[in-house]
Structure 1
Amino acid sequence: MVTGREKSRLRKLLWIIPIGFVVVLAVVLIAKWALELPPVASFVVRFPGITELPDSAPEGIPVWLAWQHFLNAFFMLLIIRTGLQVRSVKRPAAYWTRNNNGMIRTKNPPTRMSLNLWFHLTMDALWVLNGLVFFVLIFSTGQWMRIVPTSWEIFPNAISALLQYAAFDWPVENGWVNYNSVQVIAYFVTVFIAAPLSMLTGIRMSGAWPRNAQRLNRIYPIEAARAMHFPVMIYFCVFVFVHVLLVFTTGARKNLNHMFAAQEEAGWLGFLIFGAAVAAMAAAWLLARPVILRPIAALTGKVGR
């Protein structure tokens, strides 16, 4: 049964829809008006929204990057889900206690945490491992040049691309060869700023952090980590929403073929692989329940109430 307080909150949330529509409409109209002004039009001609890559930059998306993309999305989905559960669930279905007699022995007492937190940290570890492989591969193959700004011209080009996006006049670009400047900055922030921040704040809040390191704890207090960790998760949610929206509104078949099939042409293979990836993520979401997680968590610790 919905309480009066919940109804009040629902009404307030429903107001977001018309307000958001008005804001989006205003932004679109202002952007279209601005692009018709001669100085702005000249600016867009000079800076079309894309920055040239170095001559040594690779072309195309290799198969390993397509796999990395899927695994990153898979782990992030479960990390966000379990992170919200850790914050919202007051009475966990079960708790996990670390074994202190295995290969790794510590002086600290065995860690006890909710099964949701255990799953969250497990997904974190797999996501970090996937990220380390990603870093090694992009720097050894030159793919880093596609997502790292290599010229100051990226900033005026990013402003130009944002104006074009806001006016629903998509910037001319070919993701197989080069991302537009807004994409480059967004990917750079996500990969080299948001992801490390998420990892560092998560480690500070986890049981892996040394409890008795007083000097280190003063330099990096847990309150600072908590203050940053949740906003970083919100950033990832917004990034994923905008990313998926643009994938489907700027040429879905072509984009999905790039990202999932590692092919340049706009065929259907990428769409089929994307469908299988979504099915796998949906299955993981539904199967991530205590009845499934208990025996898996029991391999590394004790599970109980």
Structure 2
Amino acid sequence: MVVLFTRWLVSVPFMRDFLATYPGEYELPEGAPIGFPAWLNWQHFLNVFLLVLIIRSGLEVRFQKRPNAFWTPRWNKERKISLAVWFHQSIDVLWLVNGVIFVFLLFVSGQWMRIVPTSWEVFPNALSAVLQYLSLDWPIENGWVNYNSIQQLTYFLVVFVASPLAAATGVRMSGIWPTNAQRLNVLYPIEWARAVHFPTMVFFVLFIAVHVTLVIATGALRNLNHMYAAQGSTDPLALAENWTGFWIFSASLLLIVAAWVAARPLLLAPIARLFGSVSSR
């Protein structure tokens, strides 16, 4: 029904004029880079790898009732947290470091112009792209050159809104937060952090699901070459039959699945002991 209604809607004369005026993307600023450098491919993989483990460990922390292992840091013998919490917070730190490097390289390289809106035209173009997606008449775009506007807005939200929210709320709930800072605790109650942290994780789960679906549905081989092999062209049909990115993506997927399965107390405990002591209670 949604598809049929959207197809009818975009066939209405004034909507056809709207789509002609706003095709789904606008021209980037002069000097915006074309293509993806190799570092962006590596950052993309590391971000996905760490984010999946954050989601896995976060769900375990949320639903675990009786932890079977605990971790105590060397520098604070009075502190004790579950091994699941230690793993979640450790991956958080790695994800934050990777994120800081990513944002730094974005601005140094000029890649920021691809995901930060630079014109108010982003909003009508985003609406146009959404209508095209809903009608199953995919927007004609070439991510190697320019994202469509709904992609740009979504990536901007992920990098500059959702990620900082996840970090800020995670820090508030972690052992790093000073428990005796009463005034600070009043200004930033832990209840607020909890109320925002889990929905933020749900947003990331939904983003990953939709993102992967559209990558596959809108030209899987071409998109995977952009994202994993740093290969692309100004011709949107180029590399449509090149499997390099697919095989790299497949290998990365196997690594992510292996890490998901391996993230168990038996394998985590030896790593945790490098930074503290592990006990069964």
TM-score, normalised via structure 1 length: 0.88
- Structure 2, unaligned stretches of length 5 or more? 233-237
Match of 2:53 in 1: 78
Q: Distance in 2 between matches of 1:211 and 1:181?
A: 43
| 1:274 equivalent in structure 2 | 249
Separation (CA, whole Å) in 2 of partners of 1:109 and 1:294: 17
Q: Secondary structure at the match of 1:75?
A: helix
Partner of residue 106, structure 2: 138
- Find the residue that maps to 1:97 and give its secondary structure: strand
**Which of the numbers 175, 179, 200 marks the counterpart of 1:211?**
179
- The AA in structure 2 aligned to 1:196 is P
Q: Is the 8 A contact 1:99 1:110 kept in 2?
A: no
1:239 to 203, 207, 220: 207
2:193 counterpart residue number: 225
1:21 maps to none
Partner Cα distance (1:77, 1:42) in 2: 42
Distance 1:87 1:99 in 2: 25
User: What is the root-mean-square deviation of aligned Cα atoms in Å?
Assistant: 0.9
Instruction: Verify: 1:250 aligned to 2:218, yes or no.
Output: yes
Q: 2:157 aligned with 1:182, yes or no? A: no
Structure 1 residue 109: deviation in Å? 6.0
CA distance in 1, matches of 2:200, 2:114: 23
Does the CA contact (< 8 Å) of 1:61 and 1:176 recur in 2?
yes
In structure 1, how many angstroms separate the alpha carbons of the residues matched to 2:153 and 2:89?
A: 28
Instruction: Report the CA distance between 1:56 and its aligned residue.
Output: 1.1
Greater shift in the superposed pair: 263-272 or 39-48: 263-272
Unaligned runs of 5+ in 1: 1-25, 101-107
- Percent of pairs identical after alignment? 57
Alpha-carbon contact 1:62-1:262 (below 8 Å) kept = yes
Matched, 1:44 2:19: yes
Match of residue 148 from structure 1: 116
- Deviation digits for residues 96-138 of structure 1, max 9, x if unmatched? 01111xxxxxxx7632111111000010000000001001100
TM-superposed deviation, 1:57: 0.5
2:9 is the alignment partner of 1:34: yes
Aligned residue number for residue 159 of structure 1: 127
Aligned match of 1:10: none
Q: Which runs of 4+ in 1 moved over 4 A?
A: none
State TM-score, norm by structure 2. Answer: 0.96
| 1:227-271 Cα deviation digits (max 9, x unpaired) | 000000000000000000000000000000000000004211101
